[in-house]
Chains A and B, each alone.
Chain A
Amino acid sequence: GAGVSQSPSNKVTEKGKDVELRCDPISGHTALYWYRQSLGQGLEFLIYFQGNSAPDKSGLPSDRFSAERTGGSVSTLTIQRTQQEDSAVYLCASSLGGVGRYSYNSPLHFGNGTRLTVT
């Protein structure tokens, strides 16, 4: 079936502009995650949504970053007043999620990311 879909695949923006990145998770997956990967660096956790629970925002680097998930499916990551250090690949993942033991036994499946370049 279809995997996690992210759009756009590439985005170039000027410093100071706002950007929105979109993620379409795998159908039926209730958990959704955002990560970012700067050039030559590891994957950095940003935010996690599980059903109707309050999101885990502990990885967001500043208040310029926000994310929402509408209808328990599609998610949008918004970066306001972009800076050059925001340049990175932004990755979205989804999993079956749920609660308790089952959630930890469900792998995350990643999209191929959005490459953001801030000039």
Chain B
Amino acid sequence: DAKTTQPTSMDCAEGRAANLPCNHSTISGNEYVYWYRQIHSQGPQYIIHGLKNNETNEMASLIITEDRKSSTLILPHATLRDTAVYYCIVRVRAYNQGGKLIFGQGTELSVKP
């Protein structure tokens, strides 16, 4: 399984962009990168995913390097409600493994006033 490496924690000032990095140097060419976040006492919330191209939705932008070995999740204007653990996941893609998500430890993002 392609593993991911994320910083354990990060701080961000409210109103600023939060840039969360992720390394996935062993990713295969057809594996997707997914981002989720988990706010205390809630289930993980889907944010965004991508394969090769950069992606943007109402929550965030995902920048994937050309060699696909790393990516960055961008929250353009962080608010206090964005404080959460953010998970970068390379989705397992194997015939008998059904596309399950394997979560690592994630990055604990603290947005400060």
- Point out residues on A near B: beta carbons under 8 Å: 4, 31, 33, 35, 42-45, 48, 50, 53, 56, 58, 91, 93, 95, 97, 101, 103-113
Given the interface contacts A42-B104, A42-B106, does A91 sit within 8 Å of B98 by beta carbon?
Answer: no
Inter-chain contacts of A53 with B (CB < 8 A): 98
The answer to whether B104 and A45 touch across the interface, beta carbons within 8 angstroms, is no
The answer to whether B43 and A91 touch across the interface, beta carbons within 8 angstroms, is yes
> Nearest residue in A to B102 (C-beta to C-beta)?
A45
Given the interface contacts A56-B96, A104-B91, does A112 sit within 8 Å of B103 by beta carbon?
Answer: no
CA distance A111 to B41 in the complex (A): 11
CA distance A42 to B86 in the complex (A): 11
Distance in Å: Cβ of A71 to nearest Cβ of chain B: 19
Given the interface contacts A107-B34, A107-B49, does A43 sit within 8 Å of B44 by beta carbon?
Answer: yes
Distance in Å: Cβ of A1 to nearest Cβ of chain B: 15
> Nearest residue in B to A91 (C-beta to C-beta)?
B43
Inter-chain contacts of A110 with B (CB < 8 A): 43-46
Query: When the two chains form the complex, which single residue of B31, B41, B42, B103 contacts A42, counting CB atoms closer than 8 Å?
Result: B103
